[in-house]
Every structure is written in structure tokens, then in C-alpha cells.
């Protein structure tokens, strides 16, 4: 009965933890801003003028995006604070995990303290960071995560009104490069590691072969291809509307947990399907200028695909960095991280996008001011295999006393001795597969709101009207699980 209670308590605390092992950014190819800004109005005017003709258009949008507020990303990835918070925000036994996004501001955390005396965020013996006798290891690791993407959004659309009035097909391809920077900096406060092990925190964290801490990692490739098949209703004097089916063809890379804060292109090999509608509402019009409101509503559902992710235990944030042991070699501690980096089935599920823009045209000049609300459902993650090969958590305190057993309730902040020593088990207790915290490697639900502005010039007198435009945006996220970011782009398009 006691064992069941302890397992339940661990799992409850695991659900409260804020730190995650994976970050999934928003896909570029399904972003309606790049797809519709400036060119949607041009396509609508040309296709509604030539209702029964075949036509096609091509728009190329080079872009650059960058993350903002690095502290939010750091708080999402680092273990939540254990000490130094306002005690009024911390429920008993939760070490402020339940309030890190609210009162105590742990969501803006950018550093972790690693101490041998157990008074930091991480107990250094778990990382084999041990100072010489008579001194204590004490160091702080700071990160400032940053995210960049650069590429080209290519939108190709065919209008088949010569076959069926209002029928159209579009495809979006996005070659890009994603760059993640950690900006690591380690500050040695006390003694450095000198015994069997490593001398710095970075040395220790990069010794596992997975979730490597690298200052800069790049990944290039193609974002998922978005395909739409739509039908436009007959244009009305005051409005225009069309409905479409949308599909996402997976061409992007799969998460493999090779790096801490791993860059990703696309959604991670997940196909998707959805529906939507868009349109234009005419507001005012004169011979030289016009005002219109444009909108787009799109729902997508992403399907399951296998990935490799690292998981924490229900023992708390960063418990994947604990040491493990086996019944026939209890005196030896081995890293748990490779064992907790496993194949899993990931289903991103639903996404919803609401887009609106005010379009003003004066002679050949165009201006747009708009916004985009985007919502993502919490992922569904299931392990492909829960077997842990009868491994237990290494008993730091028992090893120090010369009689190690196991330490099933240990967390990463504890050490081998002192007031925060990891509690030894009375009998050897293997890790129950049920205590693998699937939530730690699950992207939570999130929503963002983006504001953008764009200016364009259309060469209307040309036989094939050209469009040249420039734009920028800023996107605000509701939580650490989505990016605050800004970006700028150019647009070059032609309608035949």
C-alpha cells in the first residue's frame, strides 16, 4: 500500500512539472500570412474578372524569422526552481512546480546551479561531478536559447474555371534552414570536478550520446507541403467566398533527440488533413482606391507518426539525468538518459487558424494590416516499448556509506549527503515503467496571435501583372510552449 501511495505521489508531482524535453515550432507552409498576404486580393480580382478561363499564379516569399524573449524558452527547457522562490506561491512538497508560470516567475529561468552539497537545482554527483576531498563542486550553467528560420515560401495556384467554374488547386513548398542557439556559459563558483568523472557541467551533459548541449545547431530541408483543392462561389457584388479541402504531405525531418533544444523543419513527418473557407468583403470603392476585408478559417488534423524522444520519470524535472543501477552491480551508477530516450508514437492532433486582414488599394499601391490567431491541441504521445531492463535509480547516499541499495524516490536536486540527501530504499526497487513521465516529452496545447503589415506595388499595365511586396510581423504566445517571434519577408509574384 505504501509503495502504491509513493508511486501515485511521484506521478502527481511529475504532472505538475513545467520542464519539457522537446519543443515543436509552428510550421511555415500552413501559415496563412505567407500564403495570403497581398496576393490573395490580386488572385481574387483576376479570377473573378476571367471567370471561365484557365489561369495560374506563382508567388515566391523569401522570409526571415527570429525568436523573442529567450527567457521563456529557457524556462520551458530547464528544471523548475527548487530554492529561492517566494514560499507563498509554493504548495507543500511541490517545490514551486505548480506555480512556475504564475507567481514566482520560474518560466523566465535561464540558469541552473549544480552543487555537490545538494543545495542547488542539480546534485552534482548525478553528473559524476565530484570535487577533491575537503571541497565541494559548485557551478552554474546559463543558457539563452534563440531560434532562427530563413527560407522561401513558394505558392503555386491553378485555376481550372475552363473545366468547372470556380475550381482551383494550390500547392505550397518551403525550403528553409532552421538554426537553434543555446549560447551556453558556465560560471565556476566553487571547486571544479577532479575525481573520476568530468570537470565541467558541459563535459558531463555531452557524454551521453543523446540530447547533446551544443551552442549552435542547424538543420536544412523542406517544410511539409500544403495542398489545397477548392471551389469558389460565384462572386457577389459585395462579397466573395470559397471553400477548400487541405492536405499536409509530410516531407520534414523526424525528431531524434540528438540535441537538447533540437532544431526541426516542419511538423516531424506527420501527414494532415483539413477543411477551410476564405473570402473577401467589399467595404468601399472609388475609381482610384478601395477598402476590403479578407478572411480565412482553416482546421487541420495531424496523424500519428513514430519519433524518438527523451522522457523524464515522475521523479521530477530532469530526472532523465539521474544515474541508474542493476541488482548485480549496485555499486556502479550508469546514466539513465540513453535508457529513457525511446521510440514513441506521436499524434499532434488538431490545429485551428483564424486569419483576417484589412486591404487598401490606391491606384497600383496596396497596403494590408491584419492578424492571425493560431491554436494547437496538446499532443498525444504513447511509448512503443516500456521495457526498462530491471534498472533502478542509483543510491547515492548508500554508495557513500558503502552499502548501496536503490533510491526510487530520488530527484535531480538531491545529493549523497547533507540535508537534501537522496533517500535510500530498504529493498532493491526497480523503476516501474508506469513512472515514465510521458507528459515530459509531450508538446502542450498553445495559442498565439500574430499582427502583420504589408506594402505592395502591382504592375497592372503589364500583360502578366506582377506584384512586388514587403511585410513584417510580430507573434505573441500565451505560454512557454509556443514562440514569441518576429519576422520580415519580401514577396514577388505573377498572375497568368
Measure Cα distances from 183 to 142, 169, 192, 276 in Å.
8, 44, 21, 41
Kindly state which CATH superfamily the domain 2-495 is placed in: monomeric porin ompg (2.40.160.40)
Q: Cβ distance 92 to 16 under 8 Å?
A: no
Q: What is the pLDDT of residues 321-367, one digit of tens each?
A: 999 999 899 999 999 999 999 999 999 999 999 999 999 999 889 99
- At residue 10, does pLDDT exceed 70? no
Say what the pLDDT of residue 169 is. 95
- Nearest residue to 25 via CA among 483, 347, 489, 353: 483
End-to-end CA distance of the chain: 74
Q: What is the pLDDT of residues 127-175, one digit of tens each?
A: 989 888 788 899 999 999 999 999 999 999 999 988 888 899 999 999 9
CA distance 481 to 496: 42
In this structure, of 10-14, 27-31, 93-97, the range with the lowest mean pLDDT score is 93-97
DSSP lists the bridge partners of residue 324 as 334, 393
- At residue 99, does pLDDT exceed 50? no
What is the torsional sign of CA 424, 429, 434, 436? positive
Q: Cβ distance 24 to 264 under 8 Å?
A: yes
Say what the pLDDT of residue 275 is. 98
Q: Is 35 helix (H, G, I), strand (E, B) or coil?
A: helix
Return all residues near 382 (Cβ < 8 A) that are at least 6 apart.
344, 345, 438
pTM over 0.85: yes
DSSP lists the bridge partners of residue 181 as 146, 216
Residue 99 is classified by DSSP as G
Residue whose cell numbers read 473545366 = 163
Confidence of residue 197 (pLDDT cuts 50, 70, 90): low
Amino acid at each position: 500500500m505504501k509503495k502504491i501511495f509513493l508511486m501515485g505521489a511521484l506521478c502527481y508531482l511529475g504532472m505538475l512539472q513545467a520542464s519539457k524535453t522537446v519543443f515543436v515550432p509552428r510550421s511555415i507552409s500552413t501559415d496563412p500570412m505567407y500564403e495570403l498576404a497581398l496576393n490573395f486580393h490580386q488572385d481574387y480580382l483576376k479570377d473573378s474578372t476571367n471567370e471561365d478561363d484557365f489561369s495560374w499564379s506563382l508567388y515566391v516569399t523569401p522570409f526571415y524569422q527570429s525568436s523573442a524573449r529567450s527567457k521563456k524558452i529557457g524556462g520551458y527547457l530547464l528544471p523548475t526552481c527548487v530554492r529561492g522562490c517566494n514560499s507563498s506561491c509554493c504548495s507543500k512538497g511541490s517545490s514551486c512546480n505548480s506555480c512556475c508560470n504564475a507567481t514566482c516567475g520560474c518560466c523566465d529561468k535561464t540558469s541552473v546551479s549544480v552543487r555537490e552539497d545538494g543545495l542547488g537545482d542539480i546534485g552534482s554527483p548525478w553528473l559524476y561531478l565530484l570535487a577533491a576531498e575537503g571541497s565541494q563542486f559548485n557551478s552554474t550553467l546559463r543558457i539563452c536559447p534563440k531560434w532562427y528560420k530563413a527560407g522561401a515560401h513558394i505558392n503555386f495556384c491553378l485555376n481550372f474555371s475552363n473545366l468547372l467554374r470556380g475550381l482551383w488547386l494550390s500547392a505550397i513548398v518551403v525550403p528553409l534552414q532552421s538554426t537553434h542557439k543555446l549560447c551556453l556559459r558556465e560560471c565556476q563558483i566553487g571547486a571544479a570536478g577532479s575525481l573520476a568523472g568530468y570537470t565541467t557541467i558541459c563535459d558531463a551533459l555531452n557524454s551521453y550520446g543523446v540530447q547533446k548541449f551544443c551552442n549552435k545547431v542547424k538543420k536544412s530541408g523542406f517544410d511539409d507541403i500544403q495542398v489545397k483543392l477548392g471551389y469558389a462561389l460565384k462572386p457577389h457584388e459585395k462579397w466573395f467566398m470559397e471553400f477548400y479541402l487541405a492536405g499536409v504531405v509530410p516531407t520534414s525531418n523526424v525528431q531524434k533527440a540528438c540535441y537538447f533544444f533540437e532544431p526541426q523543419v516542419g511538423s516531424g513527418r506527420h501527414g494532415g488533413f483539413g477543411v477551410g473557407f476564405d473570402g473577401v468583403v467589399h467595404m468601399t470603392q472609388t475609381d482610384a482606391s478601395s477598402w476590403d476585408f479578407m478572411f480565412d478559417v482553416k482546421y487541420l488534423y495531424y496523424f500519428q507518426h513514430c519519433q524518438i524522444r527523451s522522457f523524464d520519470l515522475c521523479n521530477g524535472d530532469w530526472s532523465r539525468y539521474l544515474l541508474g543501477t542493476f541488482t548485480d552491480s549496485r555499486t556502479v551508477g550508469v546514466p539513465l538518459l540513453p535508457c529513457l530516450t525511446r521510440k514513441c508514437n506521436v499524434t499532434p492532433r488538431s490545429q485551428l487558424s483564424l486569419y483576417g486582414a484589412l486591404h487598401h488599394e490606391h491606384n497600383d499601391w496596396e497596403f494590408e494590416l491584419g492578424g492571425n490567431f493560431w491554436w494547437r491541441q496538446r499532443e498525444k504521445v504513447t511509448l512503443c516499448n516500456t521495457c526498462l531492463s530491471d534498472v533502478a535509480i542509483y543510491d547515492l547516499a548508500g554508495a557513500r556509506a558503502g552499502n548501496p541499495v536503490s533510491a526510487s524516490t530520488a530527484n535531480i536536486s538531491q545529493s549523497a549527503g547533507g540535508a537534501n540527501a537522496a533517500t535510500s530504499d530498504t529493498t532493491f526497487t526497480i523503476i516501474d515503467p508506469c513512472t515514465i513521465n510521458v507528459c515530459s516529452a509531450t508538446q502542450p496545447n498553445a495559442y498565439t496571435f500574430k499582427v502583420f503589415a504589408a506594402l505592395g506595388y502591382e504592375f497592372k499595365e503589364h500583360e502578366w501583372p506582377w506584384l512586388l511586396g514587403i511585410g513584417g510581423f510580430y507573434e505573441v504566445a500565451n505560454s512557454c510552449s509556443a514562440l514569441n517571434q518576429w519576422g520580415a519577408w519580401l514577396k514577388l509574384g505573377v498572375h497568368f
